[in-house]
Amino acid sequence: MNGSIAAAVRGAFGDVRFTDRTRGSELFINPLMSLYFAFDLPGLAARCLYLDRIEDTHLIRQVHSRIAEFRDSVVTRPPRAFPH
């Protein structure tokens, strides 16, 4: 997987050979692979301000509703349009 991501970062897409180990197999290097990243889940969870509000949810719509309620209760910057 790391080789596929590295190939995408270099700009190689499609059926690209980047190592002898992949010889004879069909690959598809996706341009979006360059956006893959890793993170530390406990560290991310520790910074999540609404974790306590979603920990007892079971459905994605419950998660969505709880996050929406959280956002409504927090003072944030007003939304802005993307520049043209």
- Tell me whether residue 78 is in a domain: no
- Tell me whether residue 62 is in a domain: yes
Is there a single domain that holds both residue 45 and residue 64? yes
- Tell me whether residue 49 is in a domain: yes
What pLDDT was estimated at residue 41? 87
Is there a single domain that holds both residue 27 and residue 49? no
- Tell me whether residue 80 is in a domain: no
Please count the other Cβ atoms lying within 10 Å of the Cβ belonging to residue 82. 4
Q: Are 3 and 20 in contact (CB under 8 A)?
A: no
Per the structure, the count of domains in the chain is: 2
Q: What is the residue-averaged pLDDT of the chain?
A: 85
Q: How many CA atoms lie within 13 A of 20 on its CB side?
A: 0
Q: What is the pLDDT of residues 15-48, one digit of tens each?
A: 887 777 777 788 888 888 888 767 788 998 899 9
**Could you tell me the residue range of the domain that residue 63 belongs to?**
41-73
- Tell me whether residue 23 is in a domain: yes
Six-digit token pair at 23? 């010889």
- Tell me whether residue 82 is in a domain: no
